[in-house]
Amino acid sequence: MRILTSLSSSAAILLVAFGSHQLVQACQHHHGHGGDGDGHDNKQWTITPEELAELKELERKWGTDWSFSGITTFAHLKHVKCLTTPSEKFDIAIVGAPFDTATSYRPGARFGPRAIRQASSRQTSFRGFNPRASINPYASWATIIDCGDIPITPFDNAVALEQMSEAFVELGSRSAALGETEKGKGKGKRKPKLITLGGDHSLALPALRALRKVYGREVRVVHFDAHLDTWHPAKYPSAWPSTQSHFNHGSMFWLAGQEGLLSNSSPASNIHAGLRTRLSGTDPSDFVDDASQNWLRISADDIDDLGGPAGVIAAIMDQFDLNDPDPDPVYLSIDIDVLDPAFAPGTGTPEPGGWTTRELIRILRGLVDVLNVVGADVVEVSPAYQGRGEETALAAAQVVYEVLTGMVKRGLKNGFSEEKVKGGGVDKAHDEL
C-alpha cells in the first residue's frame, strides 16, 4: 500500500474510479493533447507528475494479465457496459446476445457468448499479431472493447426481439471513437461496428433492423451456414400457429426480406455459403423460394468443384462491384454449424459433411478486408454439446479474431493509420489487458 497511500486524496479517488491503466491514459492524453470538449477531456486532473509516475509504476508491475488470469472478456479487452455508458466510444465492439429460445432443435446457445469469451483467453494484444494479414487488430487504429451482454429475457420472444432490436440500434447509432479519414470527409460521422456473439441465429433479424436504421439503406448478407434460414414460418408446421412463432432461427432471413431490410436487386444478391441442409417435402421447392428472395447458394460440396477456398472466395466476390465508390454495406452472419461436426459438435443443429475450420478461416480472410463489412455475428455455439477441449468455442473465437482483423485492416486501406491515431490523441500503443 506504500504507493497508494502516498497519493493525494484526489489522486486516490481517481485511481479507484478509473484504475491505474485508464487513469494514466487519461492524464497523458490531457497533458499531451488538451481537451476537445468531449467527455473527460475537458476536466483538469488534480494529479502531480510524481503521482502520475507512481501510477505508471503500478501499471508496469500489475497491469498485464496472463492468458489464464483476469476477469473473462473477449481477448482480455476492456469491458464496459456500453448500453448504460453512452459516453464510452469505440470503433468495434464485441456484444453478447445470450438468447436461445427461438431454436428448433437443441437449445443452449445462451451460454455461447460466455464460452466464446473463455475460448478467446489466449488472444492478447501483446501477442495478437496476425501474420497472415500482417496486422495486430488489438494494437492498431481501432478502439475495440467488450460491451458485455444484452440482458435478454428468456420468457417472451416478442419482448426479446424488441430488446435486441433496441440494443443494436442504441450501440450502432453512436459515433465511433475515431473520426473521419480523409477519404471519408463529407460523409457524416463514422458509426462503430458490432460483432455479436450468439445466441441462436434469430438474432440476425434485430441486427439487420438496426443496420437498416443506422445506415438508411438495405444491407447485403453473406451467410455461412449449413441451413438456408429463409424458410417461410409455415414450413414449421403446427396445429397451434402464432405470430410469435414466426420469429425463429430458421425464418429470420425470410422475415428480414419481408421487412425490406435486405437487398432485393438481382445484380446485388445475398449469399449463402456452406449449405448442406435437408429440404421440406418431396422436391427442391425450398431452393425455389430461396432464389425468389434474392439469394445465391454455394453448397458445402462446391468447395471441391470450385477448387478449394479460393474458388469459394471468387464465387462470392463475383457478386460485388469492387470499383463502386459507395460500396454496399455487408453483414457477415456466421453460424458455427457451417463447420463439420467433427470440428464444431457444440451447436444446435449439426449437419455432417461441412467445412473444416481452416477452410472457413481461409475464406473469411479473402472477404473481410475487401468487402464493406458493417457488422457480423458468430452464432449457435452451444457449449453443452462440445468436448472438454472447447473445440467449438475455440473455432468461434478464432472466427471473431479473423473478422476483427479484416475490419481493422480495411480501415487502414480506407485512410486510417498509426500516424493518424497518434496525432489525434488516441494512444493505441498500450496493452489492452
Condensed to tens digits (0 to 9), the pLDDT of residues 52-71 reads: 999 999 999 998 888 999 89
pLDDT higher than 50, residue 73? yes
Q: Quote the CA–CA distance of 151 and 166 in Å, as a whole number.
A: 12
d(CA 281, CA 292): 18
- The yes-or-no verdict on residue 36 having pLDDT over 50 is no
Summarised one tens digit per residue, pLDDT across range 369-397 is: 999 999 999 999 999 999 999 999 999 99
Q: How far apart are CA 163 and CA 153, in angstroms?
A: 8
> Whole-angstrom Cα distance, residue 212 to residue 329?
10
Residue 52 within any structural domain of the chain: no
Q: How many CB atoms lie within 10 A of CB 236?
A: 15
Q: Predicted confidence band at 88 (pLDDT cuts at 50, 70, 90)?
A: very high
Please state, in angstroms and rounded to a whole number, the distance separating the CA atoms of residues 248 and 181. 40
One-letter amino acid of 210? A
31 in a structural domain: no
State pTM to two decimals.
0.85
Q: Alpha-carbon torsion 87, 92, 96, 100, what sign?
A: positive
Query: Residue 74: what pLDDT?
Result: 97
Amino acid (one-letter) located at 37: G
Q: Judge whether 62 and 21 are in contact, CB under 8 Å.
A: no
The pLDDT tens digits for 163-181 are 999 999 999 999 999 865 4
Residue-level pLDDT at 126? 85
What is the predicted pLDDT for the residue at 189?
Answer: 75
Tell me if 95 is assigned to some domain: yes
pLDDT at residue 105 greater than cutoff 60 = yes
Q: Which CATH number do you get for residue 212?
A: 3.40.800.10
Q: Tell whether the model's pLDDT for residue 239 goes beyond 50.
A: yes
The number of distinct structural domains making up the chain is: 1
Element (H, E) at 221: strand 220-224
Taking only the tens place, the pLDDT of each residue in 327-360 is 999 999 999 999 999 999 999 999 999 999 999 9
Instruction: Decide if 362 is inside a domain.
Output: yes
18 within some domain: no
Domain that holds residue 204: 82-238+261-414
Position 19 pLDDT exceeds 90:
no
Mean pLDDT of the chain: 86
Summarised one tens digit per residue, pLDDT across range 198-229 is 999 999 999 999 999 999 999 999 999 999 99
DSSP letters along 261-290, please?
A: -B---TTS-EEEEEE----STTSTHHHHHH
pLDDT given at position 256: 96
Does 381 map to a domain? yes
pLDDT at 33 > cutoff 50? no
| pLDDT confidence bin for 21, thresholds 50/70/90 | low
Q: Is there a domain that residue 190 lies in?
A: yes
- Flag whether 308 is in a domain: yes
pLDDT confidence of residue 75: 95
